[in-house]
Structure 1
């Protein structure tokens, strides 16, 4: 459940960068947003593996 909370926290912080990039044209925010999206991808993959392992051990 910790990883899921990390996803929620990361998404909340990425939302600020998304707003700055799309609405204000801040390129640095775009770079931070891309990094956050990559981290989300990794976290999502980890959660998928964890759920699959837990499901298969029952």
Structure 2
């Protein structure tokens, strides 16, 4: 679970940097990276929900 939380935190930081670069400077490549990060976050959050449910059943 700690490893998963670390991955989520890293991906959120990456998303924040890229989303800010897109919104503040209009960097199109950063927008593409931010969208990719959002898809990765979606997958990580689904994995977190599964692990969280398993942990709560114990």
TM-score, with length taken from structure 1: 0.90
Q: Is the 8 A contact 2:4 2:48 kept in 1?
A: yes
Aligned residues: 57
TM-score, with length taken from structure 2: 0.90
Is 1:12 aligned to 2:16, yes or no? no
The runs of at least 4 aligned residues of structure 1 exceeding 6 Å deviation read none
Matches within 5 A, 1:15-34: 15-34=16-35
Structure 1 position 5, deviation (Å)? 0.9
In the alignment, which residue of structure 2 is the partner of 1:49?
Answer: 50
Q: Gaps (5+ residues) in structure 1?
A: none
Q: CA RMSD in A?
A: 0.8
